[in-house]
Structure 1
Amino acid sequence: MSETLRDLFLLDPELVFLNHGSFGALPREVWEAQQRWQLEMERNPVAFLGRRSAILLREAREALGTALGAAAGHLVFMPNATTGVNVVAQSLRLQAGDEVLASDLEYGACDAAWEHLCARQGAHYRRVEIPLPYQREHVLARLLAAITPRTRLIFLSHISSTTALILPVAELCQAARERGILTLIDGAHAPGQIALDIEAVGADFYAGNCHKWLCAPKGAGFLYARPEHHGLLEPTVLSWGYAASRAGHSGFDAYLGRSLFERRMQWQGTRDISAWLAVPAALAFQARHDWPAQRARCHALAAQALHTLTQRFGLSPIAQDQDWAQMVAIPVPAQDPESLRRSLFEDSGIEIPVTYHGGQVFVRLSVQAYNSADDVARLLAAPALQIGA
């Protein structure tokens, strides 16, 4: 089945692609769906963008919300999760001395955004160390212990990027709500990789990607916000949603939308919305191919690679198998990460990232439904990973 699925994707057949986690990979039929939307847009751009887009975007959000456990009215499309994080960060209006609390497992680009914005407002971005090997209960305990009277928001990944760990976001959001503290969850790697019910997570804000594990086109992400926070959020670009009237234009309903959330967020100038409109096609593709079963098979292949390599190197996994999903950080002997990545690609034709955290180097393996046991065997046989074999 995996070989058949590989044929349904656009990946180079000569490449061993074990890095779905970085940018995803697109099924041919989803790519074709996006192209159909682009063609339809170009046949009458004014009608498509000016009059139809609001309805089309809502239909796409309804499909996404049904899949991820969120009301369509509480979702807006974003180019990616990082943009969603920035929208929340720039809307907070922190005061001097306020704090944003996070773990030291967060994505570097989001760390940079918080550090910049907090510094500009005289606030503090505090990163709490999460020791490895990973113990789920320690994340919650250490973050809650770090709360101070000035803590305004807690920021946490659902699945960490460098270390691929599933973090206890639902427990954190509940505990933070009891303390009157806002929560923002970076769900870049969660949708499609694990079963997700956003409402059950209980976050005030949840930013996610569709272009990674949901297999939607690049440029498809989203931001979820609880309804009581819609008025707090402001886009990174102000546009027609802030206009008191249509100011000389008629027939441009999409500029305003139905709600405050839509008016402010979904229209920030002319853009290609085809990636967002193709999200339902990606969801349909996964539904037809029994994605829960595919995820379980992928996890088993990743576990095989993890335990084979850690035993080979005499190293210990950084977490239990239930603490990660289709993406796993495999410890390897200390070495230059970029040299190892380059060797795996240039010498073995394997596209896979090499990450590092806390002085430890990892081969971060992503196994998606198009991957086969042969792909994992190629990784295990790569000359660059024979140290200690």
Structure 2
Amino acid sequence: MRAAFDPPDGIYLDTATYGLPPRATTEALRAALAAWSAGSADWMAWDRRGEDARAAFGRLIGAPPGTIALQPAVSVAVAQVLAALPFDDRTEILAPEGEFTSVLFPALASAGIGRLTVREVPLEALAGEVRPSTALVATSHVRSDDGRMVDLPALRQAAGEAGARILLDGSHAAAVVPPDGAAWGVDYYVVAAYKWLLSPRGVAFLYVRPDRLEGIPPLAANWRAADDPYGRYYGGPLTLAATAARLDVSLAWHAWVGAAESIGFLAEIDPADRDAWSRGLATRLAGLPQVPAPPAAILSLRLADGVDPGRIAQAGVRTAGRAGRTRVAPYLYNTPDEIETAARVLAPLLDRSGTP
């Protein structure tokens, strides 16, 4: 798989910040920019790449294209879902403590204007905290700070028994964790594509379970959400798509040109192979001191007191700092040799005191 990518500068282990594009993606973007500069581009051809991206994303998560809306960011997708709440006098949104703000802030904003309430509990206790008053459980599938994974089977069971819905942020799981059913069997699934989907920033997706679609008011309705988006641009009446495309936004063309290439590339790789390669590389680092085996492809490492994290970058290894720790996130473009080199760089820098 490394052959599909241009060689990075150094060892890039920071996919959880942004993924590196396949060569075909950068070539498609260069061609689009050249056509733009020359004034020879067909904007509809650019725009229709959104449909290619929608179909490819559907293959990744095991869901029909008609259940997927094209979005610009996770927060926008979450806000669309929250417009469907409350229901059946349920006003509570349940979220894990320390949830990523693009999921949490829209909920807190809704609470701030009196529409809903938000209750935060430890991630490990999430399933057990679902109540009859819970309308929605909003959580990351895989945490971006430390790689912990929600106990999704337990959460699905608890939500089903209580009549609550689940919004799952799969930004760090969608192309790594193989689906066990359409969109992992949740009501709403949101993904930012610039990380593990290797796409330009400005691309995101919202999966809506078919029986939940009618409950979401299309508050951001626009020309692209219409039933015939290329046939009418002016005047009423309001005629929206019958599918989740009714929640589409007007696309940032070049970002979606790149996304169609990257996600199409990923969709051609067997899900088990993507998981085995990415998690396998991360697991190679689990033999380092105080580094447990990861449930996905993100590792959170504690450096020894006084160690400058800049020493990692100086050694040619790209990681990220999150929550006071060092985050490592290998992916398809990394090799076992790179992981061995990174392990030699990291080993003398890690905390060995046993402090979690």
- Fold match (TM-score > 0.5): yes
Aligned to 2:95: 102
Per-residue Cα deviation, 1:248-296 (whole angstroms, up to 9, x for no partner): x96549x966326323x2244xx42343344443244346666643542
Aligned to 2:40: 43
Alignment of 1:45-194 (within 5 A): 45=42, 47-48=44-45, 53=47, 56-93=49-86, 98-121=91-114, 123-130=116-123, 139=124, 142-194=125-177
Q: Displacement of 1:20 after TM fit? A: 0.7
State yes or no: 1:20 paired with 2:15.
yes
Tell whether the 8 Å contact from 2:225 to 2:245 is kept in structure 1 after alignment: no
Aligned to 2:349: 385
Tell whether the 8 Å contact from 1:355 to 1:364 is kept in structure 2 after alignment: yes
Percent sequence identity is 22
- Selected match of 1:202 from 182, 185, 197: 185
Tell whether the 8 Å contact from 1:62 to 1:72 is kept in structure 2 after alignment: yes
Tell whether the 8 Å contact from 2:74 to 2:190 is kept in structure 1 after alignment: yes
Under a length normalisation based on structure 1, what TM-score does the superposition of the two structures give? 0.75
State yes or no: 1:344 paired with 2:344.
no
Which stretches in structure 2 are left out of the alignment for 5+ residues?
none
Aligned to 2:332: 369
Q: Displacement of 1:232 after TM fit? A: 2.7
State yes or no: 1:296 paired with 2:276.
yes
Q: How many residues align?
A: 347
Aligned to 2:196: 213
For residue 244 of structure 2, what is the amino acid of its counterpart? F
Which stretches in structure 1 are left out of the alignment for 5+ residues?
131-138, 311-315
Alignment of 1:330-341 (within 5 A): 330-333=301-304, 340-341=308-309
Work out the CA distance in 2 between the residues paired with 1:387 and 1:145: 33
Could you say which structure has the higher helix fraction?
A: 1
Aligned to 1:30: 25
Cα distance, 1:184–1:340 mapped onto 2, change above 3 Å: farther
Work out the CA distance in 1 between the residues paired with 2:192 and 2:106: 18
Cα distance, 1:116–1:215 mapped onto 2, change above 3 Å: same
State yes or no: 1:9 paired with 2:5.
yes
Tell whether the 8 Å contact from 2:190 to 2:205 is kept in structure 1 after alignment: yes
For residue 120 of structure 1, what is the amino acid of its counterpart? I
SS in 1 for 2:216: coil
Per-residue Cα deviation, 1:322-357 (whole angstroms, up to 9, x for no partner): x5122222344466xxx7443422x3232211223x
Work out the CA distance in 1 between the residues paired with 2:239 and 2:52: 16
Aligned to 1:258: 241
Tell whether the 8 Å contact from 2:92 to 2:134 is kept in structure 1 after alignment: yes
Work out the CA distance in 1 between the residues paired with 2:305 and 2:43: 56
Cα distance, 1:34–1:232 mapped onto 2, change above 3 Å: farther
Q: Displacement of 1:40 after TM fit? A: 6.2
State yes or no: 1:328 paired with 2:292.
no
Aligned to 1:275: 255
The 10-residue stretch of structure 1 (287-296 or 184-193) with the greater mean CA deviation from structure 2: 287-296
Tell whether the 8 Å contact from 1:87 to 1:233 is kept in structure 2 after alignment: yes
